[in-house]
Structure 1
């Protein structure tokens, strides 16, 4: 199981929809989050993209030297830059980071934002451009290893004698991640990407989507991996976690929710439509599946659901998605620095993945925790088997009741 965290380049806060408890986006703060994720043993971080964010490539590049093993999932936007330029940027980043680049292909689903960047194509045309972009991008990077040139003539994009001199470390190129729920998006994923991403919908909906993408990929003679995007709210107890969820939207007024939902309704993203349909803009029906809470999506675009509960409960929910075929979980939580620690401490030990002490270069040099009375080493945690079993039994009871 691969677990990623998130760099909040569009802002961070203790409460949604208000400046109260807000944090300024600065390099120092983003560095804190990135170093925490690296130290805690997260496999990588996702950087968002769009006009509401600091630039993903500049930000990620600035953090290469601040981290050791952390991978960076950075977006390319077909239509905003030439595929050859994007290919050279990817190769350079991969080389300078020691092979730590992952590429997130973002076609975009907000027509107003697209038009502000000079892109006026329809939804269908944007996916045609993305398809041609990736064909060029992949071939250019693949051929860096042999020194060959690329020629391509398409409906929207063409190149003649395209070439990148410096090859990426990863072969044939850094892995491509991509998410989209429309038929055009699924066709693109099946034919060109390595990891298909979905936002956090209920398990039945995710299972249906994975089956659809997998079937299209098999028809194209390909096999994909699958990832999912969630927020997380994890505490020592389920009760505390749900209180934290309520607190996250406690400063949120109805006017702000209505304004956000009107903006989302103007988008032509099928994924955004599915996110909004989970809650319908209402506060009273936010638990859309056991421990799956849609409160974040009241005002946040894109990923709008959170896994809520104590460590064993959240781990159990993640394993349910893993059983569907998901091997990569891209997570975030508010505030991102503190929640990265909570999740690592409460959930990591319960997941089927390497712990940070198993990672290359990690060395245990002393006891964990504060020394007691200047003399005594803190006692080791009590056996958790009984607690885990009790939580599992309680969880199964809640599921049957729901």
Structure 2
């Protein structure tokens, strides 16, 4: 199995040497490094140079727009693909299909799409979307039906409960077609993923819970006559030794004010997202038992909505955990760190060479990007 690794672009409030909070309807806290083109270019190039395939770019009221941000960054990078998160219903299916075609054709096929239905009704209303959660998933299903047919070159007449198009014909068919990534833990989300997703994404839960989710989605997809791949979204704190990694986790935790934790947790408990509820259950707002599985730390979720767990340990230990998730069926890892710039190097120089030696990752970078030495890898192997 050749695993794929993707990085993250911190357009949701910027970047820094501490956990930048926010997400799921909550404003991001202060960061220190702005989400501007200059800094995001550094992050994107670091991901590109270290062998990551793509970079997830988030969506939401407190993010920079993902389409515009990645279009700009496609001109300051060379090979990196962009996993653009967007919300169906905030743009018409024909326009989204057209935008995808333009992006692919003008970047040489560097677009992937992360479809985010939206789990917060109060945030959706900021955009003028007043459907409830179940109706949003029903609309998303219609949206993806239309987009898929347009990409197939059909002339589409579609009259659904939420969406209507007449004689729609797309002139800018993407080449290649961008793969669709989709996440969600509710029954409605599972059905839409089974029908339309190429890759189902889950947040980083303990392996037993991830295995159950994979089996659930596989069963739903099989009922549709389909198969799909699976990915996981986590943070990383990887260092030469386990002691250094856990010291960094302790430093991040020490920088989180208890009053901030209480405020953020109160806000996140209002979330309609089933996945967010599962994240909250991992730590329940407490700071005394955050290692929920060996080398899996739930501290990020104390102040950040969405993905709230991190792989923490020596490079060898983090590689072990990745292999454990891979044994369940996870093929793609969407990762991040604080800060994202330095984190791309810690993981790229420390963990990826170990995975390559194990036959779990293939370095597809051009030869001039491949260093002859990996300064972190040897040290990490001694820190089990």
- Separation in 1 of the partners of 2:323 and 2:206? 13
| Matched position secondary structure for 1:223 | coil
- Measured after TM superposition, the shift of residue 200 of structure 1 is 0.2
Q: 1:198 aligns with which of 192, 196, 202?
A: 202
- Measured after TM superposition, the shift of residue 382 of structure 1 is 11
Q: 2:350 aligns with which of 346, 350, 354?
A: 346
User: Is the Cα contact below 8 Å between 1:49 and 1:56 reproduced in 2?
Assistant: yes
Residues 3-402 of structure 1 aligned to structure 2 (within 5 Å): 3-10=5-12, 11-16=14-19, 22-143=32-153, 148-170=154-176, 173-351=177-355, 352-355=360-363, 358-359=364-365, 361-363=366-368, 384=378, 388=381, 391=383, 394=384
**Higher relative contact order (CA closer than 8 Å, sequence separation 6+):** 2
- Measured after TM superposition, the shift of residue 37 of structure 1 is 0.8
- Measured after TM superposition, the shift of residue 76 of structure 1 is 2.5
Query: Normalising by structure 1, what TM-score?
Result: 0.88
Structure 1 residues 288 and 151, CA gap change in structure 2 (3 angstroms): same
- Measured after TM superposition, the shift of residue 22 of structure 1 is 2.0
- Measured after TM superposition, the shift of residue 20 of structure 1 is 7.1
- Separation in 2 of the partners of 1:269 and 1:176? 20
Structure 1 residues 160 and 98, CA gap change in structure 2 (3 angstroms): same
Structure 1 residues 50 and 381, CA gap change in structure 2 (3 angstroms): closer
Over aligned residue pairs, what C-alpha RMSD do you find? 1.9
| Matched position secondary structure for 2:254 | coil
- Measured after TM superposition, the shift of residue 141 of structure 1 is 1.3
- Measured after TM superposition, the shift of residue 363 of structure 1 is 2.4
Structure 1 alignment gaps of length 5 or more: 369-379, 395-402
- Separation in 1 of the partners of 2:68 and 2:162? 28
- Separation in 2 of the partners of 1:383 and 1:189? 37
| Matched position secondary structure for 1:204 | helix
Asked which structure has the greater CA Rg, the reply is: 1
| Matched position secondary structure for 1:184 | helix
- Separation in 2 of the partners of 1:307 and 1:367? 27
| Matched position secondary structure for 1:62 | helix
- Separation in 2 of the partners of 1:250 and 1:141? 49
| Matched position secondary structure for 1:160 | strand
User: Is the Cα contact below 8 Å between 2:66 and 2:84 reproduced in 1?
Assistant: yes
- Measured after TM superposition, the shift of residue 241 of structure 1 is 0.3
- Measured after TM superposition, the shift of residue 381 of structure 1 is 6.8
Structure 1 residues 59 and 323, CA gap change in structure 2 (3 angstroms): same
Structure 1 residues 330 and 381, CA gap change in structure 2 (3 angstroms): closer
- Separation in 2 of the partners of 1:89 and 1:322? 33
- Measured after TM superposition, the shift of residue 16 of structure 1 is 2.7
User: Is the Cα contact below 8 Å between 1:83 and 1:137 reproduced in 2?
Assistant: yes
- Separation in 2 of the partners of 1:339 and 1:39? 13
- Measured after TM superposition, the shift of residue 87 of structure 1 is 0.4
- Separation in 1 of the partners of 2:126 and 2:336? 28
Deviation track 1:274-299 (CA, whole Å, cap 9, x = no partner) reads 00110000111111111100000001
Query: Normalising by structure 2, what TM-score?
Result: 0.92
User: Is the Cα contact below 8 Å between 2:350 and 2:377 reproduced in 1?
Assistant: no
Deviation track 1:196-225 (CA, whole Å, cap 9, x = no partner) reads 000000000000000000011011100010
- Separation in 2 of the partners of 1:365 and 1:336? 20
Structure 1 residues 239 and 219, CA gap change in structure 2 (3 angstroms): same
Deviation track 1:293-347 (CA, whole Å, cap 9, x = no partner) reads 0000001000000000010000000000000000000000000001111111110
Structure 1 residues 366 and 56, CA gap change in structure 2 (3 angstroms): closer
User: Is the Cα contact below 8 Å between 2:243 and 2:313 reproduced in 1?
Assistant: yes
